[in-house]
Amino acid sequence: MNTVISPRPSAEATSFLELRDLKIHFPTDDGVVKSVDGLSFSLERGKTLGIVGESGSGKSVSSLGILGIYHQQNAKISGEIWLDGQELVSSSREQVRQLRGKRMAMIFQDPLSAMHPYYTVGAQIVEAYRVHNNVSKKVARKHAIDMLGRVGIPQPDRRVDDHPHQFSGGMRQRAMIAMALSCDPELLIADEPTTALDVTVQAQILDLMRDLQREFNSALIIITHDLGVTAELADDVLVMYGGKCIEYGSAEDIFERPEHPYTWGLLGSMPRLDRPVTDRLLPIKGTPPSLINVPSGCAFHPRCAFADRTGGASRRDVPELLSLDSGKHRVRCHLTAPERRQIWQNEIKPNLEGVA
């Protein structure tokens, strides 16, 4: 039943989740929007991957793509998504639907709009549970109360009948998490789970997600533009730009030895308490690229301060995502590794640490 249409013969994946050259393109009147353009990564159970990037870099589209949800019906998808030995791109919609919510679940940004305003929180969790479990409403309701209690909602047996608007922002996000976890998913994708929350609540939610991930031993993908969240949770980090992965590595690699100028920029735009307040943040100049007219060569070159050091290659050729000697750390940049390391050591790192 898994007829793989991929042109090259492919072996079954060995990791729990493995993406191979995933492309999600949307044909529009203005041209093809390449939201995700050749994304590959793998993730084991119990591990956390942070996907980082600006708005419109393809983070959300790729994660929704894993779940088989596409904003438009005319989306063109190619590549492979392996979930525990099953290939999803070539599976039927019905097969993917049955996995959705059960083996892979998603926590969305802004739970006020992500939950249906007309149904009670309990009813929405019950619904999520009963799609995949053939149980009575009574049993499902008990399960919903149990889940609400586990995510730290006080008096869950009473709050279960409240509507989303009767919850506070943090409580709503907890309820959203309870809903996503109701079927014990093995893969959990959290799309900016803390963006709509205030800072004290953010920390609680992150703690909760980390605890629950350990408890359920699930693979976690956390999508964010907040590097602080990534540093807090992720084992591995994937930096996306213009629909492509431009740097991938362990959290330590990305935070201690970042190689891509864009990653440097992200680190520079991160507010830090250990820096004197007189220092300005270092935002990345320019705006994210249009996904219809992606800049030639390296998509980041119009905004890159070091593009002229590549001798024009960055304007001409799309750089390959190449492994560095240290193992899984990979980067997509025309600068040579020694050049990058030198720039990082001499020009970037001192600024970030406020030593200069």
Partner 1 sequence: MVNYIIRRLFGGAIMLFAVSIATFLIFFGLPRLAGATPESFAARYVGPRATAEVQAQAAEKLGLNDPLYEQYGRWVKAIFVGADYDYGPAVEHCPAPCFGYSFITKRPVFDDLLDRLPVTASLALGAAVIWLLAGVATGVLSALRRGSLFDRFAMGTALAGVSLPIFFTGTLALSIFSYGRPFDWTARGSSYTPITEDPGMWAYNLILPWITLAFLYAAAYARNTRAGMLETMGEDYIRTARAKGLRERTVVVKHGLRGALTPIITIFGLDLGLLLGGAVLTETTFSLQGIGKFTIEAINKGDFPRIMGVTMLAAFFIVIANLVVDLLYAVVDPRVRLS
Q: Is 75 in the site for partner 1 (CB under 8 A)?
A: no
Q: Is 115 in the site for partner 1 (CB under 8 A)?
A: yes
Q: Is 69 in the site for partner 1 (CB under 8 A)?
A: yes
| Interface with partner 1 (CB under 8 A), residue from 58, 79, 101, 242 | 101
Q: Is 231 in the site for partner 1 (CB under 8 A)?
A: no
CB 300 within 8 A of CB 288: no
Q: In what order do the strands lie in the sheet with 76-83?
A: 31-43, 17-28, 76-83, 86-87
Q: Cα(142)–Cα(122) distance, rounded to whole angstroms?
A: 10
Considering CB under 8 A, how many residues would be counted as binding partner 1? 28
Using alpha carbons only, how large is the chain's radius of gyration in Å?
21
Q: Cα(146)–Cα(187) distance, rounded to whole angstroms?
A: 21
CB of 353 to partner 1, least distance (A): 39
Tokens of 332: 């997509």
In this chain, which stretch among 79-87, 93-101, 241-249, 325-333 interacts with partner 1, using CB under 8 A?
Answer: 93-101
In this chain, which stretch among 34-42, 98-106, 253-261, 301-309 interacts with partner 1, using CB under 8 A?
Answer: 98-106
Tokens of 271: 């507010």
Would you state the torsion angle of the CA atoms of residues 290, 296, 302, 306, taken in this order, to the nearest 10 degrees?
A: 140
| Interface with partner 1 (CB under 8 A), residue from 3, 7, 9, 118 | 118
Pairing label, strands 219-224, 187-191: parallel
| Cβ neighbourhood burial of 331 (10 Å; 0-12, 13-18, 19+) | buried
| Interface with partner 1 (CB under 8 A), residue from 61, 75, 81, 128 | 128
Q: Is 84 in the site for partner 1 (CB under 8 A)?
A: no
At residue 37, the 3 state secondary structure works out as strand
Buried b (16+ CB within 10 A) or exposed e, 49-78: bbbbbbebbbbbbbbbbbbbebeeeebebe
Q: Is 174 in the site for partner 1 (CB under 8 A)?
A: no
Binding residues among 135-164 for partner 1 as defined by CB under 8 A: 163
Beta carbon nearer to partner 1, 120 or 310? 120
In this chain, which stretch among 108-116, 140-148, 207-215, 329-337 interacts with partner 1, using CB under 8 A?
Answer: 108-116
Q: Is 114 in the site for partner 1 (CB under 8 A)?
A: yes
Beta carbon nearer to partner 1, 59 or 329? 59
Buried b (16+ CB within 10 A) or exposed e, 170-184: bbbbbbbbbbbbbbe
| Interface with partner 1 (CB under 8 A), residue from 102, 143, 257, 340 | 102
CB of 177 to partner 1, least distance (A): 12
| Interface with partner 1 (CB under 8 A), residue from 36, 179, 205, 291 | 179
Instruction: Tell me which residues touch partner 1 (CB under 8 A).
Output: 64, 67, 69, 97-102, 105-106, 108, 110, 113-118, 120, 127-128, 131-132, 163, 165, 179-180
